Amino acid sequence: MSEAGKGKVYLIGAGPGDIGLLTLKGKECLERADVVVYDELANKSFLGFAKKEAEFLYVGKKAAHHSLPQEKINELLVDRAARGQVVARLKGGDPFIFGRGGEEASELAAAGIPFEVVPGVTSAIAVPAYAGIPLTHRDFTATVALVTGHEDPTKGESNIAWDHLAHSAGTIVFLMGVGNLSRICSELLRAGKSPATPVAVIERGTLNAQKTVAGNLETIGGLAAESNIRPPAIIIVGDVVGLRDKLGWFEKRPLFGRRIVVTRAREQASRFMTMLTELGAECVEFPTIEIIPPASWEDMDEAVRDLKDFNWIVTTSVNGVGYFLERLYAAGKDARDLKGIRVAAIGPKTAEAWHGAGIKPDLVPEEYVAEAVIESFKRYDLSGSSVLIPRAEEAREILQDGVAAMGARVRVVTAYRTVRPVREVQAMRELLKEGLIDMVTFTSSSTVRNFMGMFSDERAELMEWMRHTSVACIGPITAKTARSEGLKVDLVPESYTIEAFASAIREHLERS
């Protein structure tokens, strides 16, 4: 509900696709929305900014198919706001540039519904920039024209003044025009534009699947057809297209055009995906594990009550630290109650999780596996010590056995569970089958086992598909599990961190 129970509509431009091009205000409006009404967005990750209880209504439009007529969309916005709901109308690009946002705003105004327009980064500007094409340049042109390329080819007369357009604008940008590319070129040539005028067509601009084809008014139609250019795409006509070879940057990134599957839990995947995306990869999010609390907090809460009895707390994951601290705070305690207790962390990221609570771990091994933790403990006398290990419900017993063998009393409590999420695998099946995946990444043994389990009914087919796909594992334990499942492991980084993993992936794919 909005303030004082009054509804409101935000007409939000989501930009052309790159999630980083959504404005801060657009994100803030999404976060407070009760209802998100969205189009055929280039990047549906924007929906993740909405609150969990938000309702999502798809009203998208594709070529020759409208999920909901525009009149019905207008009625929907008015109706939901009239009920007192905050509505985020999320539109690709900018709402007021060939987006019919003006029509929606007019209907809202006529109905007396409060609304705001949140401008978006239009593809007319962003996509050329990502292709290395400045729309204006002092050595080429100071004028730009934005034109719809979606005119109905069956109507008798064009609303576009082609003669004026051909001679008055130094750069012309056509949106939604790839289906009419031949006609656009013909009209410009008929109006007197030189056949040698440079032209670029850019498909799925600002996304890691971006594809650019360049030619001139005479050749671009054939070149675009040969390259199988499909919507969404924009067309740029003008001499500035010639700067592309010099100023192009997006498509020159080291992993551009590579498609990598990330199987890590959604809550943990964002940093890893950001690293790969910045290198140019297209990340396919396919979480095979979900982190959830234990069935009962009884054991953990009892351990928190008995904190004074422990000499060490040993943590093997960021999740273990997070859930332990959560129950510590729930008991009305904080870091001061850990005074005198030493802390061990399996690696630097787990250590960082402790830093957030103002605690610096006493032990972080050089190698980030349980065996290395045990080896590091040899510097200490654990005889008679009491050790608490908050960990996943299912985990290797090597750590607790190794510490117990040193004479310590060990209490293991369940901090969290990892489960296989229920999800549709058809899209992933098709990508693997068609050989459209370059690499599948695994960050734990659970991700491997659950990935294989999702294809249990077609294991033979999966193994055939995976023959043409690289497999990367974050560490030797994960790699051992992958090999036991019959997978050929192509990559294990020397250091078992996300940063080292991303770097090793880059090096591997650049060589292949």
The catalytic site residues sit at 39, 61, 176
CA distance 504 to 493: 6
Q: Is the Cα torsion angle 402, 404, 408, 409 positive or negative in sign?
A: positive
Contact partners, residue 313, CB within 8 Å, separation at least 6 = 324, 338, 341, 342, 343, 344, 387, 388, 389, 390
CA distance 96 to 508: 44
Four-CA torsion 13, 17, 18, 24, nearest 10 degrees? 10
With beta carbons less than 8 A apart as the criterion, state whether 250 and 20 touch: no
CA distance 441 to 405: 35
Q: At what angle do helices 459-466 and 426-433 cross, to 10 degrees?
A: 50
With beta carbons less than 8 A apart as the criterion, state whether 244 and 128 touch: no
Q: How many helices and strands in the chain, by DSSP H and E?
A: 19, 21
For residue 6 the two structure tokens come to 């009054």
β-pairing, 171-175 with 233-237?
antiparallel
Phi, psi of 66 (to 5 degrees): -115, 120
Phi, psi of 362 (to 5 degrees): -80, -25
Written in H, E and C, the secondary structure of 432-491 is HHCCCCCEEEECCHHHHHHHHHHCHHHHHHHHHHHCCCEEEECCHHHHHHHHHCCCCCCE
Any bridge partners for residue 145, and if so which? 172
CA distance 29 to 15: 15
CA distance 512 to 504: 12
- Helix or strand or coil: residue 59? coil
Q: What is the DSSP letter of 335?
A: G
